Chains A and B, each alone.
Chain A
């Protein structure tokens, strides 16, 4: 066990945990930020995607020892009132079916739009390819990302 200091959604958190504890389980078990989902544990499904200094990373592969000292944003901290352009676009397109993967999809999409505000179809597909949606909402996700990208330009 060791003490780590993390900044999550702008708030400092001090935790005494094993250094190899993945950020995913720090968020879920210890901070009760359960919007970040467990799907595979090996960075293959994207359900656990968070922003690490603004970039999309898989929190199941990020030990707390590496997360410490960096800025982490989770789905709960993406916006104050759930009104991030990507979240609004998701509601507008009524994207979710079961909804389980959608937090990860939204975190990947918002990170994409941060670095590329007007992505092409293939840029969207490439950036989102690591996020599995078992219900098959891919066409809606793409449409929502395009809406969000348009709203950011406007």
Chain B
């Protein structure tokens, strides 16, 4: 057993008084009155207790033994609303069937890092969640020991029933909860050994599944409150433009329209948080009684736009350059591509250098150089951006989908001058996040609108608004160069990576550390287009590019692509180059060996068009093998085999679901998705022009295998996403005989359909 101090988040363990009445539980009447079904996960005929006893900020126990566990982190589909409470329940030693889960509101006194991002919820919550459960368990045991006048060491717990070893005494958590709430909070508690886990490592159904499949209100867009009005915004049509004037008179007369005005979400003098990102601070806003009425008014509203002042200055400078006389000053994808190609061919900032790469390249018998690119991407959460805000009497009530409630609270504090304690933020279940909802511009906009009109409001983005609002995945470019000596041995690697407006490079990741002479350079290009984190930022491009290059390199060197990687990893493990390598070469090799074994790579895989890829990010290791065939000139993914090392797997079937989803997401974005620009205007604004992967294009089969090593859990939401893009490119090569360097790959496929092998 591990002893831990409960001092971490001490305030969350302050003993609290009992809470009377079952009515405090909101939204569970439905659950309590429905008849029991077998399949419903947490669905059952559960009687609500008459009285609740809160043992700490993470949980309360009812007098009948029902336990409510608060899930601290935002739920965006990564399933933490099930897996985080599972961890609490494990240490509490309670029957999972008697657990009710509620989404906790933002509460920085009780919880730390209430954020959905970086695949860190489980990794960083691991100890505090376990400690919360163990602390409550200890208090319940102490209360029982006091009542029976026996030592705590003689007591044991099974599914919420405390038993005394030396007598036939037993008592349920429900019966002792009242006394436990009066027990001093222990300073130190013991955590279980991994091999005594009963809930962690077993598959438990999504606690919201029944509500999801029956269409119950769960999401921000489902919020309807008394007196609430609907707001929509009109944003500039292009990046680099801003609102000039608006003619609202006619629109104000339209049926159901309450008001039309402009807002400035982030005034220049406002102190911003990192999460306050928008290219369009000044917006036209329409407020009305119903969504459709506001949508119609939005289309009818006449707004004039103008170039931003800083852009006007830039144009004046640009126009003096030869060939730039007629520049609009607004960005286009064509311009991005030529700029990235040009800058990517020059020397850039050296981020890491091992050995003497210049000499190695000079002495090389052969140099292989390849460049890779990817476009901007829109997150496209299926639930468009929205938020409910009610700002009145110096208080703000905010309810909706946000991945960063703590930062949003600070933004509202700065923007509206409200005290932090007067800002209440509650998270709904989110119809996807993918990083988009880290940036709460829509939340601030909703609050500013509510403050302005003095009414509760739900701000709703249309899909077109959502897709044109920016905060995109950046466009990237990378060039890899490899030096081979006369014996066809790899002697040096040079990576030159950049993007608009950030570089995708992780200079200390594999294959750094495995090659004697290594040079990593990085550059950036400024842009008017706003960007943000997108599922596995930077990795979501560089992984695929790097793994494609290694594949091509292995072929050029006449080596098996998996063995080639394993040999490099062996070098990195036994005799690493440099001291700042940020990966564990043995675990990296472990997933490659597992996927090789499970996919039958070495036996009978001839005839299959297979692509392999492996990558490390968010503290976890993923290797994938993708089998592809071409039918009707289109790629068909017959099978993907995934090997994952994320340490302890809390909820295995849900974890498999996450790996399957990340894999499909990666295949889709690599093959089909892009945002392109002309004159600053995104050329895709809905799913008729922006292509997301669909049922017919999904893999026919996905097999997922986890490495079992008992290491504390690490990230899973992001790691399966980046490497599969390399596996897609490598399988495409096998299937078509062509290498694919530019995402989305469908462009090249469609342009050269006749050359495809069938």
Q: Which residues of A contact B (CB under 8 A)?
A: 1, 18, 20-22, 25, 28-30, 32-42, 44-45, 47, 74-76, 78, 81-83, 87-88, 90-92, 94-103, 106, 121, 124-126, 128-142
Contacts and interface: CB of A to CB of B under 8 A. Distances in A.
Contacts of B153: none
15 contacts: A18-B292, A25-B290, A37-B382, A39-B382, A41-B462, A91-B213, A94-B654, A97-B79, A98-B430, A100-B383, A125-B696, A134-B692, A136-B660, A137-B661, A139-B664
Contact of A136 (B215, B381, B668): B668
Contact of B209 (A32, A45, A96, A133): A96
A98 to B, nearest CB: 3
B338 interface: no
B334 interface: no
A82 B687 contact: no
B329 to A, nearest CB: 31
Interface residues of B, number: 72
Given A135-B665, A137-B661, A139-B698, A29 B210 contact: no
Contacts of B218: 99
B693 to A, nearest CB: 7
B484 to A, nearest CB: 38
A74 B39 contact: no
Given A22-B292, A75-B214, A82-B210, A134 B222 contact: no
Contacts of B700: 121, 139
For the residues of A in contact with B, the DSSP-based class is loop
Name which of B77, B382, B463, B700 has the most chain A CB atoms within 10 A of its CB: B382
A139 B255 contact: no
A15 B381 CA distance: 32
A87 B214 contact: yes
B77 A135 contact: yes
Contacts of B380: 134
Contacts of A94: 41, 203, 205-206, 209, 653-654, 657
B201 interface: no
A76 B692 CA distance: 28
Given A18-B292, A22-B292, A129-B696, A98 B431 contact: yes
Contacts of A136: 660-665, 668, 693, 698
A132 B661 contact: no
Contacts, number: 204
Nearest to B467: A40
B660 A98 contact: no
Given A37-B383, A138-B695, A139-B664, A96 B463 contact: no
Contacts of B432: 98, 100, 134-135
Given A81-B34, A135-B661, A136-B664, A42 B688 contact: yes
Interface string B282-317: 000000001111010000000000000000000000
Name which of B41, B221, B657, B664 has the most chain A CB atoms within 10 A of its CB: B657
Contact of B215 (A34, A98, A125): A34
Name which of A18, A130, A131, A141 has the most chain B CB atoms within 10 A of its CB: A18
Contact of B206 (A88, A96, A101): A96
Contacts of B39: 88, 91-92
Name which of A37, A38, A94 has the most chain B CB atoms within 10 A of its CB: A94
Contacts of A78: 214
Nearest to B699: A139
Given A87-B214, A129-B695, A135-B432, A38 B292 contact: no
Contacts of A36: 215
B170 to A, nearest CB: 34
Contacts of A101: 382, 431
Contacts of B663: 136
B181 interface: no
Contacts of B215: 33-36, 74-76, 103
Name which of B663, B694, B695, B701 has the most chain A CB atoms within 10 A of its CB: B695
B214 A137 contact: no
Nearest to B640: A139
A34 B696 contact: no
Contacts of A87: 213-214
A135 B657 CA distance: 10
Contacts of B295: 41
Given A97-B77, A138-B698, 6 more contacts: A74-B215, A82-B43, A94-B206, A126-B696, A134-B434, A136-B698
B686 A44 contact: yes
Given A34-B217, A42-B686, A96-B213, A18 B664 contact: no
- Counting from the closest, the 4 A-B pairs by CB-CB distance are A35-B215, A100-B431, A98-B77, A136-B664
B462 A137 contact: no
Interface string B215-227: 1111101101000
Contacts of A140: 657, 660
A123 to B, nearest CB: 11
B455 interface: no
B224 A99 contact: no
Given A25-B290, A35-B215, A37-B383, A97 B661 contact: yes
A35 B219 CA distance: 10
Contacts of A124: 695
B687 A45 contact: yes
Contacts of A32: 224
Interface string B488-519: 00000000000000000000000000000000
Contacts of A102: 212-213
B340 interface: no
